[in-house]
Amino acid sequence: MSYVSATLRRLVTQRAAQQCEYCRFPQSASLFAFEMEHIIAEKHDGITEAENLALSCPCCNRFKGTDLGSIDPETQQLTPFFNPRLQNWSDHFELEVGTIVPLTPEGRVTAKILQFNLPERILEREQLMAIGQYPPPTPERT
């Protein structure tokens, strides 16, 4: 994996308002450092530049791996993942208590492959909601 400079890392982290750009988990509530995720993996010629990087919690990053998308369970069509650089989270997902409900084909494949709604992840979100730390404020789009 390519080196991500401290400057670029800071830009990506601040742009994301220090939350996972997929599941919106706040970095401040995580025991683990969030990661620089290549939206298009380097294996698929994705570049290590701001427009191809997202801040990701370790969980979302592990499940996504180098995948670019999956088969939408509703339409059976090959569908790209939600792209946090090009799309708005709230157009593709909504929260129902601690569950992230996908609204679109991109939302469905992302929620499925990144396993947003594993019981322990829902529970974590609900615990944060109870203390007012989830969802964090939506980052300003630049």
- Which chain residues interact with Zn ion by CB under 5 A? 20, 22-23, 25, 57, 60
**Count of alpha carbons within 13 Å of 103, Cβ hemisphere only?**
10
Q: Which two three-digit tokens encode residue 73?
A: 């369970």
Nearer to Zn ion (CB atom), residue 45 or residue 120: 120
- Residue 76 beta carbon to Zn ion: minimum distance, rounded to whole angstroms: 26
CB closer to Zn ion out of 52 and 54: 54
CB of 74 to Zn ion, least distance (A): 23
CB of 141 to Zn ion, least distance (A): 19
Q: Please, what is the minimum distance in Å from the beta carbon of residue 135 to Zn ion?
A: 12
Report how far apart the first and last C-alpha atoms of the chain are (Å, whole number): 26
Residue 49 CA to residue 11 CA, distance in Å, equals 10
- Closer Cβ to Zn ion, 28 or 78, answer by number: 28
- Nearer to Zn ion by Cβ, of 25 and 93: the residue is 25
Q: List, in order, residues 6 or more apart from 22 with CB less than 8 Å away.
A: 54, 56, 57, 60, 64, 82, 84, 110, 114, 116
